A = this chain, B = another copy of it.
Amino acid sequence: MNVAQAIEHRRSVKHYDPNHVMPEVDFARLMQLAKLSPSSFNIQNYRFVNVKDKELRKQIRGAAWDQAQITDASVLLALCADLNAHKDQPARYWQHVPEAVRDFMVSHVTPFYEGKPQLTRDEGIRSTAFAGMAIMLAAVEMGYETGPLIGFDPVAVGKILNLPENIILSYLLVIGKPTKAAWPRGERLHDSEVLISDKFSGKHQ
């Protein structure tokens, strides 16, 4: 399957075979690929929580409008981000480049983020989505279906996952074997609504 085919195939699927178990080798491969996703300054701020415990899954489902895929999918990932990644021994992110480059990066990364909580959060959300899209497309290629979810009570799920103060939860992602297809894909918004040339005009919404 090529990239374009995977993008065209991917849909957000809600119904999964609760008896399917993902082989560990498949999960490991998905995580290996996810870790190749881009992050600003290579801070690799994504954190992947693999929720296998059935009781935790039930609790999360209870805080997420009782959506069945949360307990039924083969894998439930919580895509999280570490808000301290930029200042947690940053030299380790550039061990592979010449010392001058590494020094430049280390001296710039902390001031770039420090005192900018919105920028830091944005980068956490972005990194988790870059990584999650890689996971979704790779999973499709491996014969799975996926579904990203934000329909849950974030405070309740944060408590269930015991999120430390420096960690934010971006979204949940289910992966598994489908028992029912998604709705047929609807029309996408017309290009005139989503593509803008050069800059927004005064008249644009």
Contacts and interface: CB of A to CB of B under 8 A. Distances in A.
Interface of A: 1-4, 6-8, 10, 12, 29, 31, 33, 35-38, 40, 42, 44, 46-53, 56, 80, 82, 84, 88, 92-97, 101, 112, 119, 121-123, 125-130, 132-134, 136-138, 140-141, 148, 150-151, 160-164, 166-167, 170-171, 183-189, 191, 194-202, 204-205
B33 A188 contact: no
The 10 closest A-B pairs by CB, nearest first: A129-B129, A96-B186, A133-B133, A3-B141, A125-B125, A49-B196, A35-B188, A126-B129, A162-B200, A162-B199
A51 B154 CA distance: 36
Please classify the interface of chain A as helix (H, G, I), strand (E, B), loop, or mixed, using the class held by over half of its residues.
mixed
